[in-house]
Structure 1
Amino acid sequence: MISNYYILNVLRFILLVLVQVLVFNRLNFFGFINPMVYILFLYWYPIKENRAAFIGLGFLLGLAIDFFSDTMAIHTASTITIAYIRPAIMRFVFGVNFEFQSFKLSNTTQVQQITFLTLLILVHHLVFFTLEIFSLANFLLVLKKVLATGAATLILCLLFGSLFSVRKE
């Protein structure tokens, strides 16, 4: 029997891909800022799940976005990168606490959660825009796009997170 946990992750996957492709890929703030909110799937994915399955889902997520955006596997490379280094980022943000069985992202401070999300976004955008521009001569352009798009993505991800979070009372 399929549990609610798997149904929730499938729904998150499908909805984030649809929202990204149908809404956010069409936005162009200031002519170059397109927020990438599909990163939330990799942020919300449970911590203690199978790592190979997580990297595979990161690949499928990036591939789905690439397929609809016609971006030649740039999203795929970026999502696989953050899926692969997520444990290192978590160790940096949360310390060794995240290795305990009872660790949950919802039990951490809001500052730690925002720092974790920010680092995921920055790494993703750095890989994405480096591959998109693919020139060291344009390093400042890469940096400008990473910071501007990263800020827009972070704000929208925090808004989505607060909109769809389950409050404990």
Structure 2
Amino acid sequence: MINTNFFINILRFTLLVLVQVLVFNRLNFFGFINPMVYILFLYWYPIKENRATFIGLSFLLGLFIDFFSDTMAINAAATVTIAYLRPVIMNFVFGVNLEFQSFKLGNTTKVQQITFLALLIVVHHFVFFTLEIFSFTNLLLILKKALAIGLATLILCLLFSTLFSVKKE
């Protein structure tokens, strides 16, 4: 029998791709802000799962977004980068608590969760916009877009994560 985590991850993957492609790629706040909420898949993915599977799924997620957004594998490169760097970011944010067998993201503090999500978003957006603009002479434009779109993405991701979180009683 297949694990229920598998079905939950497939559902999250599919819904986040659809929401990103059908809703958020069409939004254009202030002429240049398009939030990238599909990063939530990389945030919500179980911590103790197979890392190679996670990186492969991250590549597929980015590739699907690229296919529908016509961005020539920039999303795939950015998602694979943060999937690869996720253990380092987690070790930085959660420290020694990450080594416990019973570690779960839901058992950490809100500050740690927000810091983890914010670091994923910052790294993703910096890689994405560096590859999109591909010129260090436009470093200020890269930083402007990464910070503005990163802030909008963080706010929407926090909103989605609070709306769709399972409440413990």
1:19 corresponds in structure 2 to: 19
* 2:114 is the counterpart of 1:114: yes
Map residues 120-139 of structure 1 onto 2, 5 A cutoff: 120-139=120-139
* 2:167 is the counterpart of 1:156: no
Map residues 18-167 of structure 1 onto 2, 5 A cutoff: 18-167=18-167
Secondary structure, in 3 states, of the residue corresponding to 2:48? coil
Secondary structure, in 3 states, of the residue corresponding to 1:30? coil
Mapped to 1, the partners of 2:60 and 2:100 lie a distance apart of 28
CA shift, 1:106, in A, is 0.3
Secondary structure, in 3 states, of the residue corresponding to 2:37? coil
Mapped to 2, the partners of 1:74 and 1:132 lie a distance apart of 7
Secondary structure, in 3 states, of the residue corresponding to 1:18? helix
Mapped to 1, the partners of 2:60 and 2:102 lie a distance apart of 28
The alignment's TM-score, normalised by the length of structure 2, stands at 0.99
CA shift, 1:5, in A, is 1.3
Q: Percent identity?
A: 80
CA shift, 1:100, in A, is 1.8
Mapped to 2, the partners of 1:72 and 1:79 lie a distance apart of 13
Mapped to 2, the partners of 1:101 and 1:59 lie a distance apart of 27
The alignment's TM-score, normalised by the length of structure 1, stands at 0.99
1:4 corresponds in structure 2 to: 4
Mapped to 2, the partners of 1:99 and 1:142 lie a distance apart of 35
CA shift, 1:3, in A, is 2.5
| 1:107-131 deviations in Å (ceiling 9; x for gaps) | 0000000000000000000000000
Mapped to 1, the partners of 2:147 and 2:139 lie a distance apart of 12
CA shift, 1:99, in A, is 2.1
Task: Give the AA of the match of 2:94.
Answer: F
Task: Give the AA of the match of 2:48.
Answer: K
Task: Give the AA of the match of 1:165.
Answer: S
Mapped to 1, the partners of 2:90 and 2:56 lie a distance apart of 19
Runs of 4+ aligned structure 1 residues displaced above 6 Å come to: none
Mapped to 1, the partners of 2:69 and 2:140 lie a distance apart of 25
